Amino acid sequence: MAEAQNSPAPAGSTTTGAIAVAAESGVATRNSAAPSYDVGDFPVPHGREEEWRFTPLERLRGLHDGSAVADGGVRTEVTAPAGVTQETVGRDDPRVGRAGVPADRVAAQAYSAFEKASVITVPKETVLGEPIRIAVHGQGGVAYAHQVIELGAFAEAVVVLDHTGEAVIAGNVDFLVGDGAKLTVVSVQDWDEKAVHVAQHNARLGRDASFKSVVVTFGGDVVRLQPRVEYAGPGGDAQLFGLYFTDEGQHQEHRLFVDHNTPHCKSNVAYKGALQGDDAHAVWIGDVLIRAAAEGTDTYEMNRNLVLTDGARVDSVPNLEIETGEIAGAGHASATGRFDDEQLFYLMARGIPEVEARRLVVRGFFAELVQQIGLPDVEERLLAKIETELEASV
Amino acid sequence: MATLEINDLHVTVDAEGGPREILKGVDLTVKQGETHAIMGPNGSGKSTLAYSLAGHPKYTVTGGTVTLDGEDVLAMTVDERARAGVFLAMQYPVEVPGVSVSNFLRTSATAIRGEAPKLRTWVKEVKETMENLQIDPAFAERNVNEGFSGGEKKRHEILQLELLKPHIAILDETDSGLDVDALRIVSEGVNRVRETGTVGTLLITHYTRILRYIKPDFVHVFAQGRIAESGGAELADKLENEGYEAYVKGGVTA
């Protein structure tokens, strides 16, 4: 296991990564405690643990140490087309927690603290023409949430998880994707500036299932998301895309884990972020584990960052761990580039005004991922958001 | 008729131990249709002149004036200068991640022309100009200057020159680092623009080689931050034979 660089550089970026060929997994075991549903199995983090070393614990508003008490200040509205079932269930419902186990203290805290879970079901062979929209609007409160989205065999659905407002929220979102089913999830973190959002997304893919996740993060004080994928049968295909725009003072952390535990599955990870302003901090951790049993795996992960101003910081750490040589392909890439005064001069020397020059660079940078969203209203909102952020900075 | 007038231009650059004066009183007038070669040894201030005219923030104008048809160029921002018709082909074009050549060219043309070029004619225009410069069509989808060879960068600069049709074109050592074939292709591009008669050209170079392809009307020798001598094309021949020694060793005043 290579250690990622963690120097306290005030500006710029660190980009480091590792490909390890190991008999025993470090990716799966390097966290301070094994995954567990019980918050009591995790000590309160002090900040030096592998899974917490980039996160400003003092800004988590007590989500990590048990001092944040739920007060229900979050409103959730679900809009779903006909054929979709919505239920509110108790903790003992068998569907709850089946897609994955909480991997860190806050996810376990959320799992231990939520009262009722929301379960949305798309019956087998149902193909939805309209997306399911889940609007989570913070009203200044603290909340622990659990959301389950289940697709029966050969069902097809698009789900938009839209987070706005002010909240301190920790949650787990489970995606149970049935055999041959296709699920696209777009999770938008468009929080107001003081919000704290820590969540684990667990996807469990059935045989020949397809899962596409598009994470779009621009708001909040601290956003820390952990999209995780595992495969329940061969032929699963996971595509994990992400876009983030990290502004002055914001901490945005995306920690991915794809657990190739089953033969002949695919994964493709592509995350891109732009940063501007003092103390803008983006963290991207891309863990991919190809277990000994997972012959025929095909995986690629990529992270790119565009640093628009001084004072921003990126930590980008891809980790690819391979326990079998019988794979179709495996690779990773990480790069961080700067948009600097010389680039600005070059574009302006061709008649392009400053604001437009920045817009051009950022839009171009995000273009390939924006196209992956596939929902015009979300795409337009994202582009408008980027414009606003850029104009505010000039 | 576009005229660029430079009067007694003084420019400093920030250096260790305070600002250092690079341009020490440059006088030059470039009219539409004319080609002026500015030649000089390394460090004489040629490139500083080019970047100062385009408005690079690294350089501070401490005295003198620059006008384009009477308008104060020094009061304009970088993009305003470009829109007023000043074009700088850079010696070291900058990589711009995330921006494709085709997007860049169209955005730039839109800014310079004041309206978006009609898509159909624009595509044709770009295609033909790229063919003339022997630029691979696949270039259009690459990011600006990213991974370009030295010759590709220079051809890309001249592609912009041809498409943007400036009133004043400043070519900063466009010939440097080019092999003979690339030099010929680039020079032909410059000549196509010159032949329109609508551009005044300021050709900055260290070598006389490019002047075999692009015939100047005037040759100026730049030394120690000002123009040390001016003449016709024959002055280039003299430099070819004698080099810059007479100007570097000093004592020569204009």
Query: What are the pLDDT digits (tens) for B12-57?
Result: 999 888 999 999 999 999 999 999 999 999 889 999 999 999 999 9
Nearest CA in chain B to A351: B79
pTM of the prediction? 0.81
Tokens of B116: 């978006």
Same domain, B50 and B98: no
In the chain, the amino acid numbered A255 is: R
Q: Which of A341, A343, A353 sits opposite B96 (nearest CB)?
A: A343
Q: Which of A256, A307, A317 is nearest to A280 (CA)?
A: A307
Average pLDDT rounded to a whole number, residues A356-360: 89
Q: Across the interface, do B96 and A362 touch by the CB < 8 Å criterion?
A: no
Q: Which of A352, A363, A364 sits opposite B111 (nearest CB)?
A: A352
Q: Across the interface, do B94 and A345 touch by the CB < 8 Å criterion?
A: yes
Same domain, B76 and B15: yes
Average pLDDT rounded to a whole number, residues B84-103: 93
* B195 found inside a domain: no
CATH number of the domain residue B39 falls in: 3.40.50.300
DSSP element (H, E) containing A211: strand A210-217
Chain B residues inside the 8 Å CB shell of A364: 98-100, 103, 143
Contact A394, A362 (CB under 8 A): no
Residues of chain A with pLDDT > 90, as a percent, come to 79
Same domain, B128 and B159: yes
Rounded to whole angstroms, the Cα distance separating A240 from A237 reads: 10
* B174 found inside a domain: no
Residues of chain B with pLDDT > 90, as a percent, come to 87
**CB-based contact (8 Å) between B114 and chain A?**
no
Rounded to whole angstroms, the Cα distance separating B4 from A177 reads: 68
Nearest CA in chain B to A353: B79
* B72 found inside a domain: yes
**CB-based contact (8 Å) between A333 and chain B?**
no
Q: Across the interface, do B79 and A306 touch by the CB < 8 Å criterion?
A: no
Chain A residues inside the 8 Å CB shell of B93: 346
The pLDDT value given to residue A367: 84
Tokens of B147: 């991974």
Q: In 10 A of CB A316, how many CB atoms?
A: 25
- Of B136, B165, B194, which marks where a domain is finished? B165
Rounded to whole angstroms, the Cα distance separating A166 from A41 reads: 30
Residues spanned by the domain of B144: 93-165
Average pLDDT rounded to a whole number, residues A119-147: 97
Q: Across the interface, do A346 and B94 touch by the CB < 8 Å criterion?
A: yes
Q: Which of B54, B95, B143 sits opposite A349 (nearest CB)?
A: B54
Which A-chain residues 298-327 have CB contacts (< 8 A) with chain B?
Answer: 306
Contact B31, B1 (CB under 8 A): yes
Q: Is the ipTM of this complex over 0.90?
A: yes
The pLDDT value given to residue A15: 55
Same domain, B73 and B34: yes
Q: Across the interface, do A356 and B107 touch by the CB < 8 Å criterion?
A: yes
Indicate if the pLDDT at residue A175 is higher than 50.
yes
Average pLDDT rounded to a whole number, residues B247-254: 57
Q: Which of B244, B96, B207, B188 is nearest to A338 (CA)?
A: B96
Greater model confidence, A310 or B163: B163
* B252 found inside a domain: yes
The string of pLDDT tens digits covering residues A215-232 is 999 999 999 999 999 999
* DSSP string over A84-135: -EEEEE-TT-TTTT-S----SHHHHHHHHH---EEEEEE-TT-B-SS-EEEE
Which site among A272, A348, A356 would you substitute to test the B interface, given the most B Cβ atoms closer than 10 Å to its Cβ? Answer: A348
**CB-based contact (8 Å) between B94 and chain A?**
yes
Same domain, B8 and B51: yes
In whole angstroms, how far apart are CA A46 and each of A75, A170, A198, A362? 32, 18, 17, 36
Q: Across the interface, do B55 and A346 touch by the CB < 8 Å criterion?
A: no
Q: String of b and e for A317-354 (b: at least 16 CB within 10 Å)? A: bbbbbbbbeebeebebebebbbbeebbbbbbbbbbbbe
In whole angstroms, how far apart are CA B49 and each of B46, B59, B65, B201, B202? 5, 9, 13, 14, 10
**CB-based contact (8 Å) between B100 and chain A?**
yes
Same domain, B56 and B100: no
Indicate if the pLDDT at residue B254 is higher than 50.
no
A332 φ, ψ (degrees, to nearest 5): -150, 160
- Of B139, B165, B191, which marks where a domain is finished? B165
Total number of domains in chain B: 2
Same domain, B32 and B103: no
Relative to beta strand B18-31, strand A313-322 is unpaired
Q: Which of B57, B88, B97 sits opposite A341 (nearest CB)?
A: B57
The pLDDT value given to residue A391: 79
**Residue B136's pLDDT band (boundaries 50, 70, 90)?**
very high
* B201 found inside a domain: no
Residue with tokens 């929220």, as numbered in its chain: A169
Indicate if the pLDDT at residue B177 is higher than 70.
yes
Chain A residues inside the 8 Å CB shell of B90: 346, 349
Contact A153, A48 (CB under 8 A): no
Q: Across the interface, do B79 and A343 touch by the CB < 8 Å criterion?
A: no
- Of B165, B197, B214, which marks where a domain is finished? B165
The pLDDT value given to residue A1: 31
**Domain extent listing, chain A:** 12-339
Q: Which of A306, A345, A349 sits opposite B97 (nearest CB)?
A: A306
Q: Across the interface, do B104 and A353 touch by the CB < 8 Å criterion?
A: no
The pLDDT value given to residue A393: 65
Same domain, B1 and B57: yes
